Amino acid sequence: MRGGLSQRVREAIGRIRREDLLPLLSRLIEIPSVSGFEADLAYFIKDLLDEWGVSARLDEVLPGRYNVIAELGGGDVSLLLNGHLDTATPDEWEEQPFRARIVGGRVYGLGAADMKGGLSAMLAAFREAIRFEGELEGEVILAFVVDEEEQGRGAQHLVDRGTVAHGAVVGEPTALRLCTSQMGYVDLTVMIYGKPAHGSFPERGINAVDGAIAFLSRFRESRLVRSGRILSMNVNRIVGGTRSVSVPGTCRIEMNLNLIGGVREEEVKEDAERILEELKAQGILTKYYVATSNYGDAFSVNENERIVTSLREAYKAVTGREIKKTNFAAWTDAETLFLKAGIPTVVFGPGDCAVAHTPYEYVDIAEVEIAARVYFLTIFKFLSQSSAQ
């Protein structure tokens, strides 16, 4: 921490310590909240906030699925702290996914990075802000939502209920980097048709799996990829063939793509169809089907927005360093808050997004501590400029 902060604020930041955050983070990990089954975690957080003297409420989004909402302070200016309660599924976990394991400063467990580390940090920041409620020149809203890992219906429900704010922080794992922009995305599904035949006579058929391999090879070198307009592509699933000793007549490919701003859904489909037409003309496949879904455009927040400057200043005050910036490489609820509700939104939180959705997911407890301190000071920078100085 550096100079320029009041003694009371310095003391509050100092009270946010990793030894206190660790039990909270561990408890959040130990409460299963796989997407669709977030209720136990929602009730736990509501009860915790009630213990702290904050009147939190559960807002039912879908049957048995609740957003947790709490407000502090009041006034014309509002700041939203947003996180999601749900996690991915533990399908590939060999260790117990709902047991927090501490190894060398890292906390392992399902959702540790995505995003129970962020939830813990926001809760710790909110708890300290309670002490200063009378000094806040505005309102801080805590909104932990459901369904981010699936369709984002929790954040959409929040917006549909009329939640507004002058700035928002989404606590997804950014490795403590500031993200003022988020990539676009689209899901691409391609069905390849060949010609079935006996597996001992492959020359009499057209192998749809071979056609799928050829398509993927060419698509990786396509116009949109080579020009950098498709930033990344991930093949989620390939399903082809029905039995042994048989030339597969069909093969289905499912991909998700990250896009730069301005790339239209139709462009992606047209690029895929052009390649498939070439393969068809060469006899590598007989016919095909292409579909796109789950499209979202990229977005960026103006660097001069109050939330950007407040968080940047808070990070420097806490760490003594300038914050690093990056573009968030996955979908978050920030899109809903910014594009659908018009709330200037940044993404900032502890943990590495690359380890999310993996069976070795972890978060560094030191990052959770820094994030919590930055969140707390951001509240003051955003809502109570004079008190933070």
H-state helical runs in the chain = 7-15, 18-30, 39-51, 117-130, 153-160, 208-219, 223-226, 265-281, 306-319, 334-335, 365-383, 385-388
In this structure, what are the phi and psi dihedrals at residue 244, rounded to the nearest 5 degrees?
-75, 165
Alpha-carbon distance of 25 to 111, in angstroms, equals 10
Reply yes or no: is the peptide bond before residue 115 cis, omega within 30 of 0.
yes
Q: Which residues 6+ apart lie within 8 Å of 298 measured at CB?
A: 181, 182, 183, 184, 259, 260, 261, 262, 263
- Angle subtended at Cα 292 by Cα 291 and Cα 298, rounded to the nearest 5 degrees: 165
Q: How far is CA 41 from the centre of its chain?
A: 18
Give the three-state DSSP class for 367. Answer: helix
Domain boundaries, the chain: 7-182+298-388, 188-296
CATH class of 188-296: alpha beta
**In this predicted structure, what is the pLDDT of residue 126?**
97
**In this predicted structure, what is the pLDDT of residue 133?**
87
Q: Which residue type is seen at 218?
A: R
**In this predicted structure, what is the pLDDT of residue 386?**
42
**In this predicted structure, what is the pLDDT of residue 242?**
85
C-beta of residue 125 within 8 angstroms of C-beta of residue 83: no
Q: Which is more confidently placed, 235 or 92?
A: 235
Does pLDDT of 99 surpass 80? yes
What is the rounded average pLDDT of the residues 324-345?
A: 93
| pLDDT confidence tier of residue 243, bands split at 50, 70 and 90 | confident
Q: Which residues 6+ apart lie within 8 Å of 182 measured at CB?
A: 298, 299, 300, 327, 328, 331, 332, 334, 335, 347
- Helix 117-130 and helix 18-30: axis angle, to 10°? 130
Alpha-carbon distance of 296 to 269, in angstroms, equals 14
Give the tokens for residue 388: 């933070």
> Using one digit for the tens of pLDDT, what is the confidence trace for 27-46?
999 999 999 999 999 999 99
Give the three-state DSSP class for 348. Answer: coil
Query: Taking the complete model, does pTM exceed 0.85, yes or no?
Result: yes
**In this predicted structure, what is the pLDDT of residue 103?**
96
Q: Which is more confidently placed, 243 or 219?
A: 219
| pLDDT confidence tier of residue 308, bands split at 50, 70 and 90 | very high
Please provide the DSSP assignment of 164-179 as one string. Answer: --SEEEE----TT-EE
C-beta of residue 211 within 8 angstroms of C-beta of residue 252: no
Q: pLDDT over 70 for what percent of the chain?
A: 98
Q: How far is CA 15 from the centre of its chain?
A: 28
| pLDDT confidence tier of residue 389, bands split at 50, 70 and 90 | very low
Does pLDDT of 204 surpass 70? yes
What is the rounded average pLDDT of the residues 374-387?
A: 82
Alpha-carbon distance of 95 to 101, in angstroms, equals 10
Alpha-carbon distance of 367 to 269, in angstroms, equals 40
Q: Which residues 6+ apart lie within 8 Å of 226 measured at CB?
A: none
Alpha-carbon distance of 310 to 179, in angstroms, equals 14
| pLDDT confidence tier of residue 332, bands split at 50, 70 and 90 | very high
Does pLDDT of 1 surpass 50? no
- CATH number, domain 7-182+298-388: 3.40.630.10
Does pLDDT of 388 surpass 50? no
Give the three-state DSSP class for 238. Answer: strand
